[in-house]
Amino acid sequence: MKDLTNGRISTQILFFSLPMLLGNVFQQLYNVVDSVVVGNFIGKEALAAVGASFPVIFVLTSFFMGISIGISVLISHYYGAKEGENVKRGIDVMLGFSAIAGIIATILGTVFTRQIFSLLNTPPNITEEAIGYFRVYSLGMLFFFGYNGISAILRGLGDSKTPLYFLIVSTVLNIILDITFVVKFGWGVKGVAIATIISQFVSVSTMLVYLQFRHPVMKLRIRSYLFDLDIFKRSIKIGLPTGIQQTFVSIGGMALLRIVNEFGSDVAASYAVANRLDSFAMMPAMNFSMALSSFVGQNLGARKYDRASKGLYVTMAMAAVISTFVTLLFWFFGDKLILIFTRDMGVIKPGLAYLRIVGSCYLLFSTMFCFTGFLRGAGDTFIPMIISIFSLWILRIPAAYLLSRPALGLGPKGIWLGIPVGWFFGAIASFIYFKKAKWKDRSLNIHHRN
């Protein structure tokens, strides 16, 4: 556990975010290795099928993950305010909620699979493989939520390293199983999904055993377990706007995929590959944002408002440097990165256009996410939700649709050009709201129970 209320700000945020960044790199390797194995050993249609599943997975998990963020923010506030019993109650709430969320997501994912892919206008030549992959993947949702719930608890306690160690082992296992099930056994895309389920199970189960015997706070309290409704209600108040926001973002991803699917399986495959690389590019900003939320939560819990504000500007500077580097990397070496997944030129060309167009705007994305992370840590999530929904549904999706119409002759490039439009508005609107300083009033009402 780490106290973030004292010490050099840049060092604390950087070293707190690094384990999360490495953890997310390994977590993304689940998806990337899936795509690399599928693209090289099965074919581009299977690659498109697996890629079509990820926006759907995001829809199933986004709302519940948003609520989890609310619980994590409360834990960080309680920890910063030295309210030990409330910390333990918050942990109980997170564990119970993660189990319920995992079961619900599994049921939804397995029952409504065909209807979902029909709604997405999935190209006929990849539909059955996409359905087969997704149904199997959904069976492991309980393990997915379990790992992420425990990780969120530990972040609130200032511990970003422990989840990384177990995730590294799990990722290596996933790579071995992917190759075994697909290359040696010939199980196709279902083999990739089975490998992911086994790996996630190993990750969460070993972490629970370790924490039970070695962690000073994070212990299972089966006999004295209590689902504290007051803490859960407070978590809902903080996390519901984030959950709604992420749900709209995930549905927006599905809407964008539907537009992409109009251009056939080659463009769908290029979008899948570019998204895998895009997810890596966005990770530094997203992890700095999560680190900043924990930093702000603890410092506002300790009523160190100036220190919390300084943390925002320090985080923005670090995120800007990394975003600029990634932009240059994608612009000059994007085609080489796509070659890792496929050598089909029908996939490489639109994929490279995506990386160059979207990648040129990562600075906007990182700025927007830093403001969102700060406001989330302060417990102020409603206005960021409104900004996010407006950016996506009023600006990005309509722009992507209109710019890709045949009359303009841009084709898939029009979709790629529409994506940064929302980021631009989101960054500007978030800055304006932050300067109004309404978050100070909201933060005062979080860290003490009525």
Cβ-based neighbours of 345, under 8 Å, separated by 6 or more:
none
pLDDT, position 450: 43
Is residue 178 within 8 Å of residue 38, measured between CB atoms?
A: no
The overall pTM is greater than 0.75: no
- On whether residue 200 sits in a domain, the answer given is yes
- On whether residue 45 sits in a domain, the answer given is yes
Residue 202 in tokens: 């190993």
Q: What are the E-state strand segments in 102-257?
A: none
CA distance 262 to 122: 9
Is residue 231 within 8 Å of residue 65, measured between CB atoms?
A: no
pLDDT, position 448: 47
Cβ-based neighbours of 314, under 8 Å, separated by 6 or more:
9, 10, 13
- On whether residue 1 sits in a domain, the answer given is no
- Determine the structural domain holding residue 411 and report its residue range: 9-443
CA distance 258 to 269: 13
- On whether residue 449 sits in a domain, the answer given is no
pLDDT, position 216: 67
- DSSP 8-state class, residue 185: S
Q: What are the E-state strand segments in 362-422?
A: none
Q: Is 12 helix (H, G, I), strand (E, B) or coil?
A: helix
Weakly modelled stretches of the chain, pLDDT under 70: 1-3, 27, 30, 215-224, 437-450
Q: Is 157 helix (H, G, I), strand (E, B) or coil?
A: coil
pLDDT, position 434: 85
Q: Is 265 helix (H, G, I), strand (E, B) or coil?
A: helix
CA distance 361 to 433: 21
CA distance 14 to 96: 31
Tokens 């303009």 belong to which residue?
A: 408
pLDDT, position 33: 78
- Of the candidates 176, 179, 169, the residue with the CA atom closest to the CA atom of residue 200: 169
- On whether residue 312 sits in a domain, the answer given is yes
CA distance 137 to 144: 10
Is residue 182 within 8 Å of residue 191, measured between CB atoms?
A: yes
- On whether residue 448 sits in a domain, the answer given is no
Q: What are the E-state strand segments in 30-98?
A: none
Cβ-based neighbours of 60, under 8 Å, separated by 6 or more:
105, 108, 109, 138, 141
pLDDT, position 449: 46
Residue 316 in tokens: 């923005």
Residue 314 to residues 184, 307, 373, 384, 401, Cα–Cα distance (Å): 49, 11, 13, 20, 37
- DSSP 8-state class, residue 449: -
| Structural domain total, the chain | 1
Residue 101 in tokens: 């969320």
Q: Rounded to the nearest 5°, which phi and psi values hold at 5?
A: -95, -5
Is residue 404 within 8 Å of residue 410, measured between CB atoms?
A: yes
- On whether residue 3 sits in a domain, the answer given is no
pLDDT, position 303: 78
- On whether residue 450 sits in a domain, the answer given is no
CA distance 38 to 46: 6
